[in-house]
Structure 1
Amino acid sequence: MTIRLAIADDQALVRGALRALLSAEPDLDVVAECGRGDEVVGMVVGSRPDVCLLDIEMPGLDGITVAEQLAESCPECRVLVVTTFGRPGYLRRAMDAGVAGFIVKDTPASELAQAVRTVHGGGRVIDPELAAESLVEGHNPLTEREQEILRLAEDGSSITVIADRLSLSTGTVRNHVSSAIGKTHSANRAEAARNARELGWL
């Protein structure tokens, strides 16, 4: 039986390489591809692949949010995250979003093809080094509000600007920032945002 695949990655060269590698397998057929996160659900609905290979950082919508949408709208399509960003926080968030597999892009072609078959067969595939690292790092300790504030802090926005954007008092924002700084073991909000991003918590 041929396994139908869709590929979502914002880098055309990566999409082309994945398509070439997977299409060389006799039982795999790439039926659709796109380069934006906000195009994935429409692509999957239109092409009905068995497995969708999904990057995390894409324009329009991030891959983890897309995975959540696919779990609701196209539960029959299994999701395999194939990303450059092998961060423990991303792995945990992706698993919570319902993905069936999570591997990094430097995975050998034969292992990638086998990962697709495993996921299609109902199994799970997780990069072993990343899984071990994820166990060490633990769950994302940041609340949704703290994550929201740190995302706004990434561009250097002041407490006042962040408070205005979120319709919160400056005191409330300061409390959330202080908590996030402590949880990320950082010196200030900019460092907290950077550390949280590197851990895949944002």
Structure 2
Amino acid sequence: MVRIQLAMPGGLLRGALRFVLSTQPDIDVIAEHDAVDGAIETVRTEKPDVTVLDLELLSDEAGHVIDASGAAQQAHNELPDAKVLVLVDPRRPNIASRLSTVPPTIGFLSQSAPPERVVDAIRSLAAGEPVVDGDLLVAALTQTTPLSEKELRILAVAALGAPVKEIARKLALSPGTVRNHLSRILAKTGARNRIEAIHIAQESGWI
């Protein structure tokens, strides 16, 4: 029996995954958490075979969601013997730039992978087999900025600390247009707010 825990925000993905896992005769979900602290404590006390961890739960000291390799290193530092399947948003920059250097106890899958694929990855990781999503590797190799030239200019001005009205004045746009572009920037980068979008763009060398 493969004993696992789910560490991810509650919602459609976790619900679908929980349902599929409940139908597997060789898998037992022993815990669910929507915060990483609880997941770490469960690993220490219950020692699940695999922890399925959504990358969104891990942040650096500045509150930014860190990249996949950073998540792997953080997980390995905290729990060196634990097996962790990290679910990654493929829109984020540098998602697989250093995956070859992470320990074999850490696997990666796209957050958009169907639950059945997550189940297969759990079994592989529990058996000691490496797990790296081919879609993530392709995204890493082909990733360029998803932002238009105008969106990059807006983000570059926003990075200087300018509010919407000042961005609009500097670029001869209306505030409404700037807000619309900022909303599209968040959607394209997977960022949760403007500060995180700026951080993603700067780390990726887009601005």
* TM-score class normalised by the smaller sequence: 0.5 to 0.7
Q: Partners in 2 of 1:154 and 1:14 — Cα distance?
A: 36
**Structure 1, unpaired ranges of 5+:** 139-152, 159-189
**Structure 2, unpaired ranges of 5+:** 145-155, 162-195
Residues 3-12 or 59-68, more deviating: 59-68
Tell me if the contact between 2:90 and 2:139 (Cα under 8 Å) persists in the aligned partners. no
1:71 is aligned with what amino acid? H
Q: Partners in 1 of 2:29 and 2:95 — Cα distance?
A: 25
Q: Partners in 2 of 1:66 and 1:44 — Cα distance?
A: 16
Tell me if the contact between 2:36 and 2:58 (Cα under 8 Å) persists in the aligned partners. yes
Partner of 1:110 in structure 2? Answer: 116
Tell me if the contact between 2:72 and 2:106 (Cα under 8 Å) persists in the aligned partners. no
Deviations 1:120-162 (A, max 9, x none): 1111122212212323559xxxxxxxxxxxxxx997465xxxx
Tell me if the contact between 2:33 and 2:39 (Cα under 8 Å) persists in the aligned partners. yes
User: Are 1:19 and 2:24 an aligned pair?
Assistant: no
Secondary structure at the residue paired with 2:97?
helix
Q: Partners in 1 of 2:86 and 2:42 — Cα distance?
A: 16
- The verdict on how the C-alpha distance between 1:128 and 1:88 changes in structure 2, with shifts beyond 3 A counting, is farther
Q: Partners in 2 of 1:154 and 1:6 — Cα distance?
A: 43
User: Are 1:129 and 2:135 an aligned pair?
Assistant: yes
TM-score, normalisation: structure 1: 0.60
Residues 54-63 or 106-115, more deviating: 54-63
TM-score, normalisation: structure 2: 0.59
The correspondence of residues 37-186 of structure 1 with structure 2, limited to 5 A, is 37-58=36-57, 62=65, 67-87=72-92, 89-92=94-97, 96-98=101-103, 100-136=106-142, 156=159, 158=161
How far is 1:5 from its partner?
0.5
Q: Partners in 1 of 2:199 and 2:75 — Cα distance?
A: 28
Q: Partners in 1 of 2:23 and 2:126 — Cα distance?
A: 18
How far is 1:111 from its partner?
2.1
- The verdict on how the C-alpha distance between 1:69 and 1:28 changes in structure 2, with shifts beyond 3 A counting, is same
Secondary structure at the residue paired with 1:33?
strand
- The verdict on how the C-alpha distance between 1:16 and 1:155 changes in structure 2, with shifts beyond 3 A counting, is farther
Q: How many residues are matched?
A: 155
